[in-house]
Amino acid sequence: MPGQAAELVFDEATKQYEGRDEAAVDHLSLTVRAGEICVLVGPSGGGKTTALRLVNRLIPLTSGDIRIDGTSILDQDVVRLRRGIGYVIQQVGLFPHMTVEANIGTVPRLYGRPRAWIRTRSAELLELVGLDSSYAKRYPAQLSGGERQRVGLARALAGNPPLMLMDEPFGAIDPIVRARLQDAFLALQKEVRKTVVFVTHDIDEAIKVGDRIAIFRRGGRLAQYDTPQAILERPADEFVAEFVGADRALKALALHTLAELDLGAPAGGPPCPRTSTVRDALALMLQMDAQKLAVTDERGVVVGSVTREQLLS
């Protein structure tokens, strides 16, 4: 089976649906580096899903090219191309008549992997996405929405694809579970280091999960492609500035954690883990009406302190 991460290049990729005046994706050129998460974000109808589906050839290109590790998708056998790409969609699309284990084994079965191998791999992947082994024999209908999303993610990873396409994978999930899934996904990505194209219409999600963000405007045109920090600090134009929101200075605080600051000597105040973002720490301070926080490590031991002034500087 394939492995590791691939570089993905959109080269003037264009899609014009039949009977439509405007292109859905218009001369899109961008490079997603191997092992990076690129988030596509933009208004509804902006061409995000179309851009994603061009990659695994669910939709044919009108013009331009898309290359994976230097090879045009047009020069690859479409079945092999798709097997090498993990695809996660909002409705997950698990097979309802198959157990969780069988769902996860879909691609490995296509590669002719033996049953024992698939069982072991499936157990590993369940653990990786934070579900215990008792889930293996359950059916999709016996899972919560968030659990189904995790199984969908495990299934997409099962063939060890160098490239993952994720279309609003956490879209229909309540904010708390969603935040947990985002954390789980980022922890997972630290281990597996896939190249990921991740679609969302939620700019906060984009900032949280993206190494780089591609902001689309209507008509599938790229407005800006940059790191979250650069987009928040230097939006390319009015459209981007408006899209990221007037509170972009506040959003930028979510890009750093307390662990990155020069902490003061341990002191009193409400406890706050050093893995918290500066934004969350500030929110806690306001909520507790505190001037200082006691910063704790993984074991809850106080390792330092921060003041409001420090967080805002």
Ligand X SMILES: Nc1ncnc2c1ncn2[C@@H]1O[C@H](COP(=O)(O)OP(=O)(O)OP(=O)(O)O)[C@@H](O)[C@H]1O
Residues lying near ligand X in the complex (CB under 6 A) are found at: 17, 20, 24, 44-50, 201
Q: Which does 46 bind (CB under 5 to 8 A by kind): ligand X, Mg ion, none?
A: ligand X
How many residues touch Mg ion under the rule CB under 5 A: the total is: 1
Residue closer to ligand X by CB (options 19, 96) is: 19
Least distance (Å) from ligand X to the CB of residue 134?
35
Contacts to Mg ion from residues 5-64, by CB under 5 A? 49
Least distance (Å) from Mg ion to the CB of residue 93?
15
Q: Which does 287 bind (CB under 5 to 8 A by kind): ligand X, Mg ion, none?
A: none
Least distance (Å) from ligand X to the CB of residue 152?
17
Phi, psi of 149, rounded to the nearest 5 degrees: -60, -40
The HSE-up count of residue 227 (CA atoms within 13 Å, CB side) is: 6
Q: Which does 44 bind (CB under 5 to 8 A by kind): ligand X, Mg ion, none?
A: ligand X
For residue 198, the one-letter residue type is F
Least distance (Å) from Mg ion to the CB of residue 302?
46
Q: Which helix (H) or strand (E) holds 87?
A: strand 85-89
Contact call for residue 200 and Mg ion (CB under 5 A): no
Q: Which does 20 bind (CB under 5 to 8 A by kind): ligand X, Mg ion, none?
A: ligand X
Residue closer to Mg ion by CB (options 49, 195) is: 49
Residue closer to ligand X by CB (options 17, 117) is: 17
Q: Which does 86 bind (CB under 5 to 8 A by kind): Mg ion, ligand X, none?
A: none
Is the CA virtual torsion 48, 217, 61, 31 positive or negative?
Answer: negative
Candidates 26, 199, 156; CA nearest to 10 is 26
Residue closer to ligand X by CB (options 46, 105) is: 46
Least distance (Å) from ligand X to the CB of residue 221?
12
- Sorted by sequence, the CB contacts under 8 Å of residue 174 that are 6+ apart come out as none
Q: Which does 201 bind (CB under 5 to 8 A by kind): ligand X, Mg ion, none?
A: ligand X
Q: What gap in Å lies between CA 246 and CA 260, rounded to an integer?
A: 25
Chain centre distance of CA 252 = 18
* E strands in 136-291: 163-167, 195-199, 212-217, 221-226, 271-273
Task: Locate all alpha helices (DSSP H) within 31-114, ordered by sequence.
Answer: 48-55, 78-83, 100-104, 106-110
Q: What gap in Å lies between CA 148 and CA 168, rounded to an integer?
A: 14
Q: Which residues bind Mg ion (CB under 5 A)?
A: 49
